[in-house]
Amino acid sequence: MPDADIAPARPGLSRPMAFAAVAAVLGASAWLGRRNAPDPSHPGIRRWYKRLDKPAYTPPDAAFGAVWPVLETGLGIGGYRLLRQPATDGRNIAVGLWLLNTAMIGGWTELFFRRKALGASAAASAAMIATGTGYVAAAGRVDRPAAALAVPFVAWLGFATLLAERIRERNGA
């Protein structure tokens, strides 16, 4: 006889609903990131970013444009896979951490580029390593491929945190 205290897991989202949820979340994060991008459509942000004293290992601007779509694709596929899983406590924790990390991506661009808050952006980047690592661990208990798809994101965050901290140090913030 089943344990009466344990509620059955609700089914995961349908394919269209999971896709729509991922598209909405990543779309909002991308919109915020694009709003703050140091590209020709934002000349003030671009001038400020170009004037910063950056370490020699700073990738060229084009590298950022190439890396982030790959990282966000991995996060998107992982989020989709998780949303399709039955709605258990473990799945919900993993989804919550996924949502937090995708929100923090856009939030970081707001801090660094728009507000020019170099110290806060370095701290936020470091916090993203912790929440990203937590996401990988939580997702790994629910869907190992979803977790594996986020490992490059966490690795990039390690590099990005080092870079953000060096930029902060070199620019007296």
β partners of residue 10: 87
Confidence at residue 6, expressed as pLDDT on a 0 to 100 scale: 60
Confidence at residue 86, expressed as pLDDT on a 0 to 100 scale: 97
Confidence at residue 172, expressed as pLDDT on a 0 to 100 scale: 86
Using the predicted structure, report yes or no on whether residue 65 has a pLDDT greater than 90: no
Confidence at residue 56, expressed as pLDDT on a 0 to 100 scale: 97
Question: If you average pLDDT over residues 121-148, what whole number do you get?
Answer: 97
Residues in contact with 84: Cβ distance below 8 Å, sequence separation at least 6, in sequence order: 12, 13, 15, 18
pTM comes to: 0.90
Using the predicted structure, report yes or no on whether residue 4 has a pLDDT greater than 60: no
**Tens of pLDDT, residues 11-56:** 999 999 999 999 999 999 999 999 999 989 999 999 999 999 999 9
pLDDT band of residue 127 (cuts 50, 70, 90) is very high
Using the predicted structure, report yes or no on whether residue 166 has a pLDDT greater than 60: yes
pLDDT band of residue 3 (cuts 50, 70, 90) is very low
Confidence at residue 8, expressed as pLDDT on a 0 to 100 scale: 66
Task: Give dist(CA 41, CA 52) in Å, integer.
Answer: 19
Question: What is the overall mean pLDDT for the chain?
Answer: 93
Using the predicted structure, report yes or no on whether residue 100 has a pLDDT greater than 90: yes
**Tens of pLDDT, residues 74-98:** 999 999 999 999 999 999 999 999 9
Domain definitions of the chain by residue range: 15-46+70-170
